[in-house]
Structure 1
Amino acid sequence: MKRPIHHALVRDILSYLHAPERLALSKGERLTRFVDFLSEHHRIIVCRKQECRKRLRRFEHILDMACPTTNKARDIGKLITTVEEICTRPFTPATLQDALGVSSRERIRWTRDGKLRPIGTKMIKDRGRFSLALYSAEDVVRLLMSPEILASWRARPVSCRP
């Protein structure tokens, strides 16, 4: 699934950079408009808008250009790589819950039932050590694109009583 995301990101970033109507904006507005444009086309960006704004500030010079030139190709490549890293970075339990709009109880139950599959763990040192489960960004995108899956998980089977 990484290839379609990558191609779509590259296409959308380049189409945005070549759009003439973006030039009448201030620096901050250009960055916000760029992130908003990407979030309209990529649901995963909606969950990570704040991170995008923070990490993409160093690319404002590219957004300022009237038409990206070949000598800026390396910077455009770094911009694309950074956005792709943001889109594919695993979700922690808290970010997963925020992205999907689920409670911690639902996340824990669905993980225990095998509906949500952690892809790894991250060790945290904070007054001791504990680990956090990490969830695949691809799974989050799949669930964002098909909210009926979450609805079916929430529906509890009706018990048959005589």
Structure 2
Amino acid sequence: MKKTFLFLLLIFTTVITAQESDLNWLTDFEEAKQIAKDSKKPILMYFTGSDWCAPCIMLQEDFFSTIKFKKQSQNVVLLKVDIPRRVDVISKEQLKANKKLLGKYNKEGGFPNIIALNHKGKVLDSQGSYSASLRDPDRYFSFVSKVIDDY
């Protein structure tokens, strides 16, 4: 049973990752800040546990994979901060950089968590706590719209 669950989780994660390829997720914070400065767009920093966080996987399906978000994403700089449990998901260097961002911007360690930042790294707003019982992506769409409008 446990092996079947892990196998299904691996397949699901692979499918989700393939769907994400339509979005331009950056993983380097300094690069994201520079692009945000040059393009005059806010940064959406997304904290995820891509291989273990069930709410993150649901949020991917309900929000990030939608056409509506793909349109919204044209007005922001996307930065993914992944804290996976498997060691083969990201490099050790990337994990170290991500944990540094986690310590600075997501001290409570909530997953998923989206932090809106300006090009200097100043926090503008945040949205977290996605759950199976709520599965309400509308508040995330509203959050991104507000961030874009207020920037």
TM-score, length basis structure 2: 0.25
**Structure (1/2) with the larger helix percentage:** 1
**Structure (1/2) with the larger strand percentage:** 2
Which one has more relative contact order, counting CA pairs under 8 Å at least 6 apart? 2
